[in-house]
A and B are shown apart, each in its own frame.
Chain A
């Protein structure tokens, strides 16, 4: 089975056009899925790399409407599923239902909203069912057993597993403490994407057999930032990093 990568990028970063170019590069490099983050002013589950990128994106004029337009464009142009990641307040402020509908209309394959957990979700999970948009629970290896059972019981299409007890951006070690959870989820019908701190091809190789797709985030943002600041094309940088990770 070939390795599937979910590659994360931020709408409007480094600028609107370059985020589209980034998405193109990620697809060309061989990513199987995209995860587009709509920037939020207070992304408390993200580390400094992504937070900074979100701030710059907003300063450069990115809005939710522009992000959704970008998603629609990517969805139409690239033959690749795109998940939408953001924070609860972006949905809540715009109206839960209209935002889920708009995400669906823009072609989102699923919604990743880490601070709206099942049971404290402002109706997100019910709306996902009603409008047929998968909502991805985000869990970590520290999750209590009963809670894990509850989430598995939802029979979501995907579960998003953050591999360590922290925030995005620093290197994660892969061992029994996190791979154990993945092996527990493996037999289920629910598919699992796993990430947080994945930066090297070697990690991708270790992780891939334990899940359905490996999520890469900060490493891409870092590569794109570096290229952009040197006047290089975001598209090439994005393509190269995925190619490297798949080596």
Chain B
């Protein structure tokens, strides 16, 4: 999947044509991406036993309401995490953008730090935070806001919180990239025309950072709905999302064709979202030089 809307810098003429330069990557992608994808799709059209072509796997998926629930829950998780990342991420990116060089160094470090730790480690961190005796419950009980610890671990809310923290840096970085592409003179022009800070933000800065918002949302959504480790650990055995369903069917129950069909459904969901967001992105293409 491409991050379609990050503007690419203009290139000087190179001795090799761009087509030739892309050959090694094209070969690599064909070998390790396109071929496995075709194999996967082919597998999803096979019956559980023996050969032949059948739509039975898809029929089975869409007729079982439990599967539909997994699909909607996964989509819902993706949407929640994306929106939460946007709401928490935009102010951070904006603050970074306005900050002095010295603050930028500190902020860069803080934003990148979580990315330098593995998702597994961060997930176990969240287990500690969300548990009955965890940070959040101790704090809330300590402040007298609740009497009994609330259940966060093994809940959808807990998964969404952890995922938001895990993918937030990607949203922030993507928006920062977009904000830094905006000519600071545009904001100055807005102010010189009598536009106050809020008008300048809503009319100039926000619309012009839309490409970064879109690519950030694409990344976060796609990564969230295909995450496996965090939903399995924080969600425990009780919560099932598409990746955990694929794992269960393919690795535990060895029902490869059904697992392939679930994978294909997940892939299509992601592609639809990518398509919708890219269409929105197309409209911004006009003014991103």
Does A associate with B in a complex? no
Chain A residues in the interface with B (C-beta under 8 A): none
B residues lining the A interface (CB < 8 Å): none
